Amino acid sequence: MPVPTQGETFAKLLHHLREAQNDSATLAHLARAMGSTPRDTAIANGWLVVSEQLKRMVKVTTDIAQGKLN
């Protein structure tokens, strides 16, 4: 069984974070498209917040990997 490298594991982590970001944006779109109540709008906005937070997480994760700990 091959030993995982930092680069491979980092790439896998970024892939999963980006997939989660994309999925949460899709959930926001679906909630907005299929809903008509203020609650549906709030849920859609919540999914958009999750998507934006995951986008920030990708940036922070990349910064950590590059040794840019501020």
pLDDT confidence of residue 69: 75
- The predicted model gives 4-32 an average pLDDT of 96
pLDDT confidence of residue 29: 97
Tens digit of pLDDT for each residue in 11-20? Answer: 999 999 999 9
pLDDT confidence of residue 27: 97
Task: Quote the CA–CA distance of 43 and 49 in Å, as a whole number.
Answer: 10
> Is residue 10 within 8 Å of residue 65, measured between CB atoms?
yes
Other Cβ atoms within 10 Å of 67 Cβ, number = 6
> Is residue 19 within 8 Å of residue 57, measured between CB atoms?
no
Task: Quote the CA–CA distance of 16 and 8 in Å, as a whole number.
Answer: 12
Tens digit of pLDDT for each residue in 29-61? Answer: 999 999 889 999 999 999 999 999 999 999 999
